[in-house]
Amino acid sequence: MLEQLIPFLTASAILTISPGPDIIFVMVQGMANGKKHGVVTALGLAAGIIIHASLVAFGVSAIIKSSETLFFVIKLFGAVYLLYLAWQVFRSDPEIAYSAKGIKKKSLFSLFKQGFIMNVLNPKVTIFFLAFFPGFLWEPGGNTVMQFYILGAVFMLLTMLIFGSVALLAGKISTYLKNHKHSGVVLKWLQIVVFIGIATFIII
């Protein structure tokens, strides 16, 4: 179990830290409206992970029980999709674009709800989970639903920890990014290496 969880934890941490709309949204809220609002936004985004983890857990578990070949096809799809994401990152602009100007202050409940809905209604998250999670099952022949939920819980707690830290340190992070223009390039190549590494791990 630990042999699967440790690389899963490492890959999840790097991917969560990488720039994306969710983490930038948390940082902007922390900069514009304060730490509390940023943290609540982070909690809403993290809570949405439960929905995606459930969809993958029950959907993929049924496939695993019906056919080992189909399970391999899912893992193959996951590896190809992750390589596609690496290619997309390679083609993207490394500059991290964010701005706290014009951000209206919302209630804590509104921000939690917005974060939750943003995550749940993003089909790319489900596709990513479908590509990412199956390769880290430590006992494909066992209770896969429980394993998926454990992976989902680990991913969610890690997301809350990282996004929450970003909310609390939003001001310092934005200042660092402004003073270190090369940060975007470093994070870009870090994402590429991680995506390729996970794709290789899933197939081998």
Q: Between these two residues, 30 and 99, which has the higher pLDDT value?
A: 30
Which pLDDT tens digit goes with each residue over 185-195? 887 888 888 88
Q: What is the mean pLDDT of residues 149-165?
A: 94
Q: What is the mean pLDDT of residues 81-90?
A: 89
Does the pLDDT at position 129 exceed 70? yes
Q: Token pair of 149, please?
A: 């939920």
pTM for this prediction: 0.85
d(CA 128, CA 123): 9
Q: What is the mean pLDDT of residues 112-141?
A: 89
Q: Between these two residues, 97 and 196, which has the higher pLDDT value?
A: 196
Does the pLDDT at position 52 exceed 70? yes
Does the pLDDT at position 156 exceed 90? yes
Alpha-helical runs (H) found in the chain: 2-17, 21-33, 35-47, 49-66, 68-91, 108-120, 123-132, 144-168, 170-179, 183-203
Q: What is the mean pLDDT of residues 170-183?
A: 78
d(CA 45, CA 120): 8
Q: How high is the mean pLDDT of the chain?
A: 86
d(CA 8, CA 108): 32
Q: What is the mean pLDDT of residues 61-69?
A: 83
Does the pLDDT at position 101 exceed 70? no
d(CA 149, CA 58): 10
Query: How much is the pLDDT for 66?
Result: 81
Query: How much is the pLDDT for 126?
Result: 85
pLDDT level of residue 17 (50, 70, 90 thresholds):
confident
